[in-house]
Structure 1
Amino acid sequence: MALIITDECINCDVCEPECPNRAISQGEEIYEIDSDLCTECVGHYNTPQCVEVCPVSCIVGDPDRVENREQLMEKYQFLTTGANRVPQG
């Protein structure tokens, strides 16, 4: 599943540069994760790097965007090959 940042975010700025897919950006109040770009670092690392560096553990799975490892790998392949759309599914 894609990840989300909860309102416990303290805007510490450590997650954004860790994301290899550039899925994290500053929102109006806290950082946000673009679920179309989030692969939980599948294809890049063994674990989500934003989760690893978050000092307040505010990055969790998005229950509205459940994806298995195979789907995340498929999304990674689309993102890294320059495809214009993310697979639906």
Structure 2
Amino acid sequence: MFVNHSNREKAAAAWAPEPPAWVKVLAEACDRTNQRAVADQLGKSGGYVSAASLPSSSRSSARTAPAAAVTVEGGMGSIVPLIM
């Protein structure tokens, strides 16, 4: 049986034991709308949002996360309304 986990659940698992606040905001915004809408609000691609909120062990994700934190924190004014 296929189980579709929320972005918040996926982020929590990927960033265990506790995701940073910016990851939680990003995941919640994606759950409320969709990844594409959040990416548009941040001026980024959907792939960028996915790589930022669900890091893997790849070097590209390791390089993306710090910049993504700055992007999301700087854009919180535009994405926070998506989660309210």
TM-score, with structure 1 as normaliser = 0.29
Between structures 1 and 2, the one with greater helix share: 2
Between structures 1 and 2, the one with greater strand share: 1
TM-score, with structure 2 as normaliser = 0.30
- Which of these two proteins has the greater Rg computed from alpha carbons? 1
